[in-house]
Amino acid sequence: MGQPVTNYTPSSNIHQLRESATIAASARAKRLRAEGRSIIDLGAGEPDFPTPRFVIEAAHRALDAGATRYTSVAGIEPLRGIIAEDASQRRGSPVDPSAVVVSAGTKQALFNACFALFAAGDEVLVPTPGWTSYYEMLTIARATAVPVTGPRERRFKISARELERARTPKTRGLILNSPSNPTGAVYSRAELEEIVAFADQAGWWLLSDEIYRGICYTGEATSLLSVAPPSGRLVVVDGLAKSMAMPGWRIGWSVAPVALARSMAALQSHTTSNATTISQHAALSALSDTNAYESALAEMMRELRRRRDGALSVLRNAGFEVLQPDGAFYLFVRAGQASPDDPEPGSRLAERLLDAHDVAVVAGSAFRAPEWIRVSFAAPTADVFEGVRRIAAAGLS
């Protein structure tokens, strides 16, 4: 007893699982900072802005009122009700609160959906480049993630053409993310209508990750709730981590057909149970006070737009190919042409930027795009501009 275990072998449940590359990049940057390095972290995917004061004050009031107990696994009724009300407005038909499951972040909502819907032998199409956790969640569910890539000139957005090429008799679903992490691409309503029609005809489930929907520079991003038929096989997940700068509060939710929502709540009851009670009350305040929500978001968007435009200018003037992000807070930057001698130019550039220039970014291999790097501008403004200046000075060689 007490001796270290040296013969641990991962179970078959996780033996293929890989650590989140985005979290790993941020953790390495923090370690180097602790060692005394002056690291600029442009890898993190969390807003650097403070949570709005009106949300924090609501949390204080809830604590004072004793909101420290368990809640229903699916969430407190007022929160589920206001989420359902918003979903009803977008859909144009009533959404019952029992269709809503509040979770410990949007990541858990996505995992609940993947685990409840898919199993061994199922294939799920994932627009690629895509968020690293999609592939891993599907692996945990023992399904197979199938990357689908659109043309570079369309910022990798997919269409029915790419879906037709990727489909097999085993295809059971499709994950969409608009605005997209890591590209910042935003699907138009017409593009989504085409995809929804194709998926509906094929009988697939659609999982729509809309966590960045509030961060769009071209007007309001379209929710699939307003596109898909009310009776469709659709799960929409969302949360407040990005739009209200609440990543550490761990609060998200899903809107799904009631029978599926019940299964997802049952799964959650055996994993995390309810989302943190105090965070639910904070979320209720954020969603209830529309004026305060919109004001806080508009202020954040003004600064994000300024950072985006300035960083784009610096990198493009230095000769980098950078995708124009219409949403989210990332610049997707091409590092070079992959070759047998250099299969991952994005990884090589990311390593060089950190080792020689003290700038942390995420290599595109995390998103199945080895020729690219992701640069976050959700960092203090001075860090963003200094960081991109260092990237520009480093160049592509």
Task: Return the CATH fold of 21-50+293-394.
Answer: Aspartate Aminotransferase, domain 1 (3.90.1150)
Q: What is the pLDDT of residue 96?
A: 96
Whose tokens are 């977008």? That residue is 90
CATH of 65-288, one of 3.40.640.10, 3.40.50.720, 3.40.30.10, 3.40.50.300: 3.40.640.10
**How confident is the model over 304-319, as pLDDT tens digits?**
999 999 999 999 999 9
Are 240 and 286 in contact, with CB atoms under 8 Å apart?
A: yes
* Lowest mean pLDDT across 15-19, 35-39, 214-218: 15-19
**How confident is the model over 159-199, as pLDDT tens digits?**
999 999 999 999 999 999 999 999 999 999 999 999 999 99
Q: Where are the domains of the chain?
A: 21-50+293-394, 65-288
pLDDT of residue 1 exceeding 60? no
Are 131 and 45 in contact, with CB atoms under 8 Å apart?
A: no
pLDDT of residue 2 exceeding 90? no
At 225, is the pLDDT very low, low, confident or very high (cuts 50, 70, 90)? Answer: very high
**How confident is the model over 348-376, as pLDDT tens digits?**
999 999 999 999 999 999 999 999 999 99
Residue 233: what are its φ and ψ, rounded to 5°? -90, 80
- pTM over cut 0.75: yes
Q: Alpha carbon of 263 to those of 59, 117, 137, 201: distances in Å?
A: 30, 9, 17, 25
